[in-house]
């Protein structure tokens, strides 16, 4: 296929910090409603309030090391990264958009990739926020992109899954599914795994886009698959968690979940964690339920790192992986409507009023906070020394912060 739906950057628009848009927004209100549902000790701490006047949308450049190539950092969706941010971060750049962003950024090399409801996937220079290129998908892009090799993979609400060139957004291949694709693809060993809201899970060849196998589940799939040790874990809206053989798609086991699910499973240390009505831990090999705690509904996947399972809702809570008991709990100023990220001994979480907290991973004590104008709707992306944050009301923005 040709790359005529990809636009290289020029000197205007988002390249100067003002996000340009194209195409016509989706008018299917039920999809908007689904998207909205699916993307929900101060002593001595330091507070920084970013200056967000229109004349100061970019204040410099940042540097970092490492990568976060997909939603949840990696294919197991742990939400844990090796590198963190040491101390209170400072704003380096901001890129505004005039549509909602429900996509968690992927950062690889010097590029940040993020989807927007203005029907585009954007590639930004992660150090400056300058736009490198954008791809016109034709419908909302609520799928978080996944990056592997020289490709970017993303789904669209038009029912497509595409493999794009990282360099310029050229379309390498495009697959049409039966329904819209809300989930973020997982890419492991040259295979792209993704589900659509019609209830089909696909295994696609990353190079060609050819389907290797498909599996139908009982209910729609809004959540991203997790892939670990040759098994693909998907949870559907019919309250079932599936373990599929990554090579063949064969169902290895299935277990009931307490409520319908649109949060990605998290796999760590032989367990699969699913959050919806509370948090439940399943044995990754057998599907046997190990423990279940809480009764509050959440639309946020757990993050697992530094010896804790971190869950978010009204508060940020760290649970023991062994039995689900509470290790610590932090109450922010407003509800946390996105998953947390763990890295470098810090838990990063953003609330609906636009405050990003850096919490001590061992104790839950607040180390620092920074504030932006609007609420945080997706998990913070943390890459060795840098923090990337997305606000996602009607008009979203992407922020690049750098640690001291």
Which pLDDT score, from 0 to 100, does residue 220 have?
Answer: 84
pTM of the model: 0.85
Angle at 78 between CA 68 and CA 206, to 5 degrees: 55
Q: How many Cβ atoms from other residues are within 10 Å of residue 207's Cβ?
A: 14
Extract the tokens encoding 46. 């330091």
The four Cα atoms 225, 237, 177, 213 give a dihedral, to 10 degrees, of: 50
**Mind listing the pLDDT tens digit for each residue in 78-95?**
999 987 888 999 999 999
The b/e string for 281-294 (b: 16+ C-beta within 10 A; e otherwise) is: bbebeebeebbbbb
Which pLDDT score, from 0 to 100, does residue 7 have?
Answer: 62
Taking CA atoms, 144 is separated from 39, 85, 290, in Å, by 11, 23, 30
Which pLDDT score, from 0 to 100, does residue 392 have?
Answer: 78
Which pLDDT score, from 0 to 100, does residue 297 have?
Answer: 66
Max CA pair span of the chain: 58
Which pLDDT score, from 0 to 100, does residue 44 have?
Answer: 27
Distance between CA atoms of 85 and 231, rounded to whole angstroms?
Answer: 32
Nearest to 225 by CA among 208, 209, 256, 204: 204
Nearest to 123 by CA among 102, 151, 99, 149: 151
Residues in the chain: 404
Q: What is the DSSP letter of 224?
A: P
**Regions of the chain short of the pLDDT cut 50:** 1-4, 9-57
Which pLDDT score, from 0 to 100, does residue 38 have?
Answer: 40
Which pLDDT score, from 0 to 100, does residue 334 have?
Answer: 94
Which pLDDT score, from 0 to 100, does residue 147 have?
Answer: 98
What value does the mean pLDDT of the chain take?
Answer: 85
Q: How many Cβ atoms from other residues are within 10 Å of residue 36's Cβ?
A: 15
């Amino acid at each position: 296929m040709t790359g005529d739906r990809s636009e290289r950057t020029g000197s205007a628009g988002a390249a100067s910090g003002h996000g340009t848009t194209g195409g016509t927004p989706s008018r299917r209100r039920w999809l908007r409603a689904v998207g909205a549902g699916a993307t929900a000790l101060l002593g001595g701490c330091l507070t920084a309030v970013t200056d967000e006047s229109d004349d100061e949308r970019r204040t410099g450049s940042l540097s970092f090391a490492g990568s976060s190539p997909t939603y949840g950092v990696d294919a197991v969706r742990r939400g844990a990264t090796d590198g963190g941010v040491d101390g209170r971060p400072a704003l380096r750049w901001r890129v505004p958009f005039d549509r909602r962003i429900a996509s968690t950024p992927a950062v690889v090399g010097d590029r940040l990739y993020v989807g927007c409801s203005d029907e585009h996937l954007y590639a930004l220079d992660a150090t400056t926020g300058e736009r490198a290129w954008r791809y016109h998908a034709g419908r909302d892009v609520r799928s978080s992109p996944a990056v592997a090799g020289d490709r970017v993979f993303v789904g669209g609400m038009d029912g497509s899954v595409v493999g794009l060139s990282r360099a310029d957004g050229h379309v390498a291949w495009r697959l049409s599914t039966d329904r819209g694709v809300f989930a973020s693809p997982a890419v492991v060993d040259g295979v792209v795994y993704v589900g659509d809201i019609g209830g089909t899970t696909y295994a696609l060849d990353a190079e060609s886009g050819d389907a290797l196998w498909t599996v139908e589940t009982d209910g729609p799939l809004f959540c991203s698959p997790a892939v670990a040790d040759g098994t693909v874990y998907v949870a559907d809206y019919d309250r079932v968690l599936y373990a599929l053989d990554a090579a063949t798609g064969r169902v290895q086991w299935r277990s009931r979940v307490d409520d319908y699910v649109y949060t990605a499973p998290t796999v760590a240390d032989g367990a699969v964690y699913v959050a919806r009505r509370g948090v439940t831990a399943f044995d990754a090999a057998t599907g046997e339920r190990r423990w279940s705690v809480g009764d509050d509904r959440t639309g946020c996947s757990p993050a697992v790192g530094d010896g804790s399972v971190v869950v978010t809702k009204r508060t940020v809570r760290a649970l023991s992986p062994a039995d689900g008991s509470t290790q610590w709990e932090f109450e922010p100023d407003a509800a946390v409507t996105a998953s947390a990220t763990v890295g470098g001994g810090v838990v990063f979480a953003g609330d609906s009023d636009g405050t990003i907290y850096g919490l001590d991973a061992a104790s839950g004590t607040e180390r620092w906070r920074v504030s932006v104008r609007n609420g945080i709707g997706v998990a913070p992306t943390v890459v060795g020394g840098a923090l990337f944050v997305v606000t996602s009301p009607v008009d979203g923005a992407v922020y690049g912060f750098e640690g001291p």
